[in-house]
Amino acid sequence: MTLGEFAMCIAAVFSSSTAQILMKRASSTGISATGFRLLSMGIVLQLLSVLLAVLVLRTMALSQLMPFAALAYVLVPLGSAVLLKERLTRRFWWGSFLIMSGIMWTLSVGV
Amino acid sequence: MQTDLSPRKRRTAWLLLAGMIVWMTGAQLLFKSAGLHAHRHPGLVQGFVLNVAMWWGLFSSGMSMLCWLGSLRTLPLSAAYPWTASIYVLTPVASAFLFNEILSQRYFFGIALLVAGIFLSAGGAESNDSR
């Protein structure tokens, strides 16, 4: 995996995680101009994430990209805790530790 | 939450959850196919705008989202959430068959760590409602 592919994978997962947080925020604001703006930004970021994934999948194996996608299981709750003041449990931290270990393990192994 | 529901509603919810997994796995495979198309056809129009696999992938993602929302109308998030981990097993296996990707035992150990992590963190999912 090249540095460029790695950067695009990270950008794709950050983009989709931010999109999920924006959509969650939009759902709690109800029908309003702010809600519509947040939802639109979320959809644009989700599409950007797909575009980045397709770009990186031109040369990279799908099975190499998949572990990166799991980073969303860590980033979304973390972002929700920081931005939406949601509570994180101890189980989340243990789970995140395993997820991060799995990502690093598959990266070190390659395919 | 599930106790008051009819068996038919519960069955529908589980079928929708299974549908979400199938559509999402399909979407990932279509995006890989779209990537291969973009590699063969450089340029924005040929590689992306006229990329049929990419549009089907987006459609598949949309269907997966609809199935997910439909299943969550009945199932608690803590029950549905761990099953999303199966996407991380099904997709690499399917890509090995369809795109001849070679998967090692060591790779599957990493995937097992990922799946265990998702299952573990799912315990706090209902209260957090973070996905």
Q: What is the DSSP string of A80-92?
A: HHHHS-----HHH
- For residue B48, the model assigns a pLDDT of 84
State the complex-level ipTM.
Answer: 0.84
What global pTM score does this model have? 0.85
Q: Is B1 among the domain residues? A: no
Boundaries of domain holding B103: 7-128
Q: Is B59 among the domain residues? A: yes
- For residue B44, the model assigns a pLDDT of 84
Q: Is B27 among the domain residues? A: yes
Interface test with B, best of A60, A62, A71 (most B CBs within 10 A): A62
Q: Hey, how many other C-beta atoms are within 10 angstroms of the C-beta on A32?
A: 10
Q: Is B77 among the domain residues? A: yes
Sketch the domain layout of chain A as residue ranges.
3-109
- Please count the structural domains in chain B: 1
- A85: closest CA of chain B, how far (Å): 10
Query: Which tokens belong to A47?
Result: 């599409």
Q: Does A88 touch chain B (CB under 8 A)?
A: yes
Q: Is B2 among the domain residues? A: no
Quick one: which of B102, B91, B29 has its CA closest to B60? B29
Query: Which tokens belong to B56?
Result: 């089907």
The more confidently predicted of residues A14 and A26 is: A14
Distance CA A55, CA A27 (A): 30
- For residue A110, the model assigns a pLDDT of 65
Q: Is B82 among the domain residues? A: yes
